[in-house]
Copies of this chain bind each other. A is one copy, B any other.
């Protein structure tokens, strides 16, 4: 473990190496954007955006909730054309293609209607969560904070929860495009949306340096209550 609790020999790196090697060995025409490797320019038109393990801490410490997330797009989150997120523990596979809906293991995903009194929210909690995160939990019936953004987004896409609110007080702790490129498409194809905290549709370039806070939801009615 490093000083901040991040594993030094990262499982992310091992998982990433397998994916990068596969792309290279099979001459698959894709650039790669990933956590450890950064941007690998293969002179391709499209880019594979990878979070080889989303929920690294969970995976290393034995909290059974983490995923592999992959998306294909051109320049930014809104042009992502296909995305998959797999729960490594359960094997549940979430996927979507632009305009063709979102699915889990063959079943069509649909977000649910928001009823505040019955609502469940995922909320980012930790040393860098703003107090607004606490206020948001008070507006929900139940809150969860599971430590794996891509899977938490997929839970909203499949109607397990109403939304996911992420508000960090430090830019470096906000979300990156690799974390949510796939799950944002899955959520949008399931009927939901992801916006910044001003309420504007969220887009993020394929750039590891760019970060954002966000609200993801199934039902737009939640915006008026939480933002």
Contacts and interface: CB of A to CB of B under 8 A. Distances in A.
A137 B147 contact: no
Contact of A126 (B87, B129, B131, B142): B142
A160 B89 contact: no
A63 B160 contact: yes
A186 to B, nearest CB: 15
A194 to B, nearest CB: 19
Contacts of A126: 137, 140-143
Interface string A1-24: 101110000000000000000000
A219 to B, nearest CB: 15
A61 B64 CA distance: 17
Nearest to A133: B134
A138 interface: yes
Contacts of A158: 62
Contacts of A133: 134
Interface in A142-174: 142-147, 155, 158-161
B127 A137 contact: yes
Contact of A61 (B120, B127, B131, B145): B120
B140 A127 contact: yes
Contacts of A159: 61
B146 A138 contact: no
A61 B161 contact: yes
Given A89-B89, A144-B146, 10 more contacts: A5-B119, A5-B120, A61-B120, A64-B89, A125-B125, A126-B141, A126-B143, A127-B137, A127-B139, A143-B145
11 contacts: A4-B118, A5-B117, A57-B142, A61-B159, A63-B144, A63-B155, A63-B160, A64-B65, A64-B90, A126-B141, A127-B140
